[in-house]
Amino acid sequence: MATKKKAAKKVVKKAAKVVKKAAKRKPNAAFMKPMTPSAALGAVIGAAAQPRTEVTKKIWAYIKKNKLQDEKNRRNINADDKLKEVFGGKKQVSMFEMTKLVSKHLK
pLDDT at 91 over 80: yes
Name the residue ranges covered by the structural domains of the chain.
30-103
* Nearest by Cα to 99 from 56, 53, 43: 56
pLDDT at 1: 57
pLDDT (tens digit per residue) in 5-58: 676 666 666 655 655 555 677 767 777 899 999 999 999 999 999 999 999 999
pLDDT at 49: 96
Q: Which CATH architecture has domain 30-103?
A: Orthogonal Bundle (1.10)
Residues contacting residue 107 through CB under 8 Å, at least 6 positions apart = 35, 36, 38
pLDDT at 72: 96
* Nearest by Cα to 41 from 30, 52, 32: 52
